[in-house]
Amino acid sequence: MKKMVIILFSFGIALVLKAQSPDLIIQSENGKLYLDHTVAPKENFYSIGRLYNISPKEIVPFNGLSLNSGLEIGQILKIPLVADNFAQHGKAVADEVFVPLYHIVTQKEGLYRIGQNFNKVSVSDLKTWNNLNVETISNGQTLVVGFLRVKTSQSALAAKGIKKIGSIANAPASTAPVVAKTESNTVVTTKPVEEPAAKTVETAQNTALQNSSDGTGFFKNSYREQAGSFNAFKSEMGEAAVFKSTSGWQDAKYYALMNNITPGTIIRITNSNNKRIIFAKVLGELPPGRENEGLLIRISNSAAAELKISDKEPKFAAEVAYAKEGR
């Protein structure tokens, strides 16, 4: 049976932000500070540069690439923190804010050592930024160690920004993503399509959590953490396909594109044929186009390899489960 449906395509960039999330954790390599950025659909060096207030000409050599290098969905880029976009003192000028950046405390680290590792910031500043009354910190604790300077008119990250560097409420890390969108244009088209083949089933939280003990992937534990913030799960079955990505082959960070689900959500994907399971992060929606009509999901090729999907299989049957708010 056919019916008329209205398809809304958003051409903006959806950016997933989480307070104290891994997306805003400062990394260090050979004394140079940077952030990891996972390339989302429709992003390029210029849009990513605007997001982090840095020129593409600085991003490119830092990653050993050229401006002519193509970017793949799920690819990890290192975003250098330099004088233009990294700050630890001062007030923001007009059209700028400071976005907190974090470090996860490891064993035997103290405030002094952390300060020395992050541009020699003082213990006093670390205590102020993190509302600490004492210098005692614990393994796994998340601390503000600096700030990303961004343009409010250009960066979705500005939604988490402050105007003056000072005390930051150091609340526990949230597992529920907050979504900010930039420059969204909506195009409405009407066309006949087949009744969707995907089947949706509501499941109890405890059942879905029991099933999460199986499977593999970097985001497996995050799936269980997200479950703690919701009281229901949704399970959908349908056709899946693959997209090419450089991510996941070494670190098991698997990614997916799926409609009607918040970017940043961690999902459980089961190959319906062999029951193999992986966990992946949703980057965004399926791009518009005939090749995606009728698809439930696309997953990165490293994820497909883990599910034992042959390169000769253009599509395969899959079941996707994820946490959601219940009524």
Calpha distance 198→110 (Å, rounded): 52
Q: Reply yes or no on whether the pLDDT at 18 is more than 60.
A: no
The residue ranking higher by pLDDT, 142 or 192, is 142
Q: Reply yes or no on whether the pLDDT at 176 is more than 80.
A: no
Gap between the terminal Cα atoms of the chain = 31
Top-confidence range, 73-87, 221-235, 302-316: 73-87
Strands (E), 96-157: 96-104, 142-151
| pLDDT for the residue numbered 277 | 93
pLDDT tens digit string along 243-270? 888 888 888 889 999 998 888 889 999 9
| pLDDT for the residue numbered 323 | 81
| pLDDT for the residue numbered 9 | 31
Mean pLDDT of all residues in 190-201: 45
Calpha distance 182→219 (Å, rounded): 26
| pLDDT for the residue numbered 32 | 92
Mean pLDDT of the chain: 78
Evaluate whether 145 touches 126 at the Cβ level (below 8 Å). Answer: yes
pLDDT tens digit string along 95-130? 999 999 999 999 889 999 999 999 899 999 999 999
Mean pLDDT of all residues in 74-80: 93
Q: Reply yes or no on whether the pLDDT at 53 is more than 50.
A: yes
Distances (CA, A) of 75 to 53, 156, 178, 243, 307: 20, 20, 22, 12, 20
What structural domains does the chain harbor?
A: 13-182 (no CATH), 196-324 (2.40.40.10)
pLDDT tens digit string along 273-291? 999 999 999 988 888 888 8
| pLDDT for the residue numbered 193 | 40
Q: Reply yes or no on whether the pLDDT at 208 is more than 80.
A: no
Calpha distance 45→59 (Å, rounded): 8
| pLDDT for the residue numbered 207 | 46
| pLDDT for the residue numbered 311 | 73
pTM to 2 decimals? 0.59
pLDDT tens digit string along 210-246? 444 578 889 888 888 876 666 567 889 999 999 888 8
Calpha distance 182→158 (Å, rounded): 11
| pLDDT for the residue numbered 168 | 67
